[in-house]
Amino acid sequence: MLNALWTPTTVGGIPLPHRLVMAPMTRDRSTPEGVPTELNAEYYAQRASHALIITEGTQPSADGQGYLLTPGIHNDEQIAGWRKVTDAVHAAGGRIVIQLMHTGRISHPDNTPHGRRPVAPSAIRPQGAMFTASGPQEMPTPRALSTQEVAATVDDFRRAAAAAIAAGADGVEIHAANGYLVHQFLSANTNQRTDRYGGSLDNRIRFAVEVAAAVADEIGADRTGLRISPGNPYNDIAESDTAELYPALLRALSPLGLAYLHIFHAGDEDLLGTLRALWPTTLILNRAGTDIAARAKDVDHGTADLVSVGALALANPDLVERLRSDAPLNTPDPATFYGGGVAGYTDYPTYTV
Ligand SMILES: Cc1cc2nc3c(=O)[nH]c(=O)nc-3n(C[C@H](O)[C@H](O)[C@H](O)COP(=O)(O)O)c2cc1C
């Protein structure tokens, strides 16, 4: 069972022993300064037998922070913190890429180091509340970035990618999914700009392509991945043109020769097939919420090259060994997903007979 999943492959320049990837998961357990800790290093090292670890979303700048206690990768203390994590994962035989997540309008001033109003493509307030130190609060209307500031934000991603490599990461994943800043540029309901970053489809994909080009130029395309989530309404996204937008995005990204594309699959099988056919390099698929046997079939059938797993990797440090030996799996506990300490983080047991 699950045979194709266990065959080796290469992503970008990185040889991988099999094809089961740990999906990026925010855990809100860094320091208030966004510095990863020894505990974070232990958590990731426990999961080093995954083919590749994609870390939790990590802010490329102070403006990029949306949630409490998320890590950053834009100053020396954060680089030193990440170095502990990458060293621990490498010592345990693993490979790790840092996900660069700028949350854009999905933020609250209380959660950022500078207390400023969140920034976004346009000044459109997201529905919903954000958890802050004083409890849930409505997210405010963000401030629209000026055209010049958009270019500066592209540079923030470039610098953060360089910092990730300086911290010992094997690469970075640009988070262009799930309603955060890059996705906010893609979607017309969050991007009503009238400059070259808004309006037409070519303009709306421009920011994503510029970020990818800058990061690839800085650290090498073979160390650069990008995550999308076509049709995912999470974080108040309402896309009406996925069938045109995502193929256009992939056509524009293709010449860059990125290491991989990571798709959070929201259900449109036709679009998934189109994107698979268009994409020239590795495809990692996250078929959210389905069992692993179903995901493994995507590798068997050639729908994906690798599959990523979120909650079950969180709850099973030895997920790979358990699947290979048909052992039972621990159940993820949502109460400890976000914030806290050891409980529900590093204390999920490995399997013993
Ligand atoms: C606790 C938690 C935190 C998450 N944080 C992120 C994140 O930081 N970046 C991201 O791209 N996706 C994030 N996700 C989404 C996962 O990467 C994944 O797509 C989702 O959990 C569905 O896959 P699964 O059914 O295997 O869990 C998160 C999911 C969970 C459960």
pLDDT at 353: 76
Q: Is the predicted pLDDT of residue 28 greater than 50, yes or no? A: yes
230 token code pair:
């076509």
Nearest CA to ligand 1 atom 4: 25
Q: What is the CATH number of the domain that holds 90?
A: 3.20.20.70
For residue 351, indicate whether it is catalytic: no
Q: How far apart are CA 21 and CA 87, in angstroms?
A: 19
Residue with tokens 């007979």: 353
Nearest CA to ligand 1 atom 6: 25
Q: How far is the CA of 335 from the centre of ligand 1 (A)?
A: 15
Q: Is the predicted pLDDT of residue 1 greater than 80, yes or no? A: no
Q: How far is the CA of 23 from the centre of ligand 1 (A)?
A: 6
In a domain, 173, yes or no: yes
Nearest CA to ligand 1 atom 11: 24
Amino acid at 172: V
Using DSSP's 3-state secondary structure scheme, residue 41 falls into helix
Q: What average pLDDT does range 33-37 have in this prediction?
A: 98
Whether residue 313 has its Cβ less than 6 Å from ligand 1 = no
Amino acid at 1: M
In a domain, 346, yes or no: no
Q: How far apart are CA 116 and CA 136, in angstroms?
A: 18
Amino acid at 21: V
Q: How far apart are CA 144 and CA 105, in angstroms?
A: 9
Amino acid at 292: I
Q: Is the predicted pLDDT of residue 322 greater than 90, yes or no? A: yes
Q: How far apart are CA 152 and CA 154, in angstroms?
A: 5
In a domain, 307, yes or no: yes
CA-CA-CA-CA torsion for 345, 225, 125, 110, nearest 10 degrees?
40
Residue 124's DSSP bridge partners are none
In a domain, 345, yes or no: no
143 token code pair:
């401030």
pLDDT, tens digit, for every residue of 57-107? Answer: 999 999 999 999 999 999 999 999 999 999 999 999 999 999 999 999 999
In a domain, 36, yes or no: yes
First to last CA, the chain: 21
Whether residue 24 has its Cβ less than 6 Å from ligand 1 = yes
Chain centroid, CA 211 distance in Å:
14
Q: How far apart are CA 123 and CA 89, in angstroms?
A: 40
Whether residue 97 has its Cβ less than 6 Å from ligand 1 = no
In a domain, 304, yes or no: yes
pTM for the model stands at 0.98
In a domain, 341, yes or no: no
Alpha helix ranges (H) inside 187-235: 201-204, 206-219
In a domain, 347, yes or no: no
Q: Is the predicted pLDDT of residue 175 greater than 80, yes or no? A: yes
Whole-number percent of the chain with pLDDT over 70: 99
Q: Is the predicted pLDDT of residue 290 greater than 90, yes or no? A: no
Q: Which phi and psi (to 5°) does residue 203 adopt? A: -70, -35
Q: Which of 26, 183, 229, 284 is the best mutation target for the ligand 1 pocket, counting ligand atoms within 8 Å of the beta carbon and taking the most?
A: 26
pLDDT, tens digit, for every residue of 118-165? Answer: 999 999 999 999 999 999 999 999 999 999 999 999 999 999 999 999
- Other CB atoms within 10 A of residue 205 CB: 23
Give the structural domain span for 258. Answer: 3-336
In total, how many domains does the chain have?
1
pLDDT at 2: 55
